[in-house]
Amino acid sequence: MNAAKNMEHISLKHDNGADLQFRGRLFSECSWYDEDSGIFTRQKLYVTDNNEQVYYIVRKNGEAHSRHAYRLTVQGDSCLIFNGSTEINLGFDALMLAVRGICGMEDGATPTLSQVESMLKAVNS
């Protein structure tokens, strides 16, 4: 099966008003419900036709919800993060250091998707 044939036009709604659009396919997804906070979270990971990764995070708590999308492009030793309206370029080592610092992780630890999401939210602020 040719992966390029599975690509489609995707438009993700984003709370910043700039929907993130790309050609790609869903790579993986997960969801969970936190009984303590009452928040349902859904995360999706897409791969684009340019081999970039797009993370989409939707949270719902009753009528309230939030939607955030981030496209990550690795270029050599740097990572370009784009949320549909704003772009930031970080060295890959700085990105991992920021993720570990925000998450309170030890040096050399590998962050999870939710930990990376927290870092991306901090970058987007």
How far apart, in whole angstroms, are the C-alpha atoms of residue 44 and residue 113? 10
List the pLDDT tens digit at each of the 125 positions of the chain: 455 668 999 999 988 888 899 999 999 999 999 898 899 999 999 999 998 999 999 999 988 999 999 898 888 888 888 888 888 888 877 776 766 655 555 555 555 555 665 655 554 44
Would you state the pLDDT for residue 85?
85
CB 20 within 8 A of CB 83: yes
Residues in the chain, total: 125
Half-sphere exposure of 84 (CA within 13 A, CB side): 20
Structure confidence at residue 63 (pLDDT): 86
Alpha carbons 43 and 59: distance in angstroms, whole number: 9
Q: Which two tokens stand for residue 4?
A: 């390029």
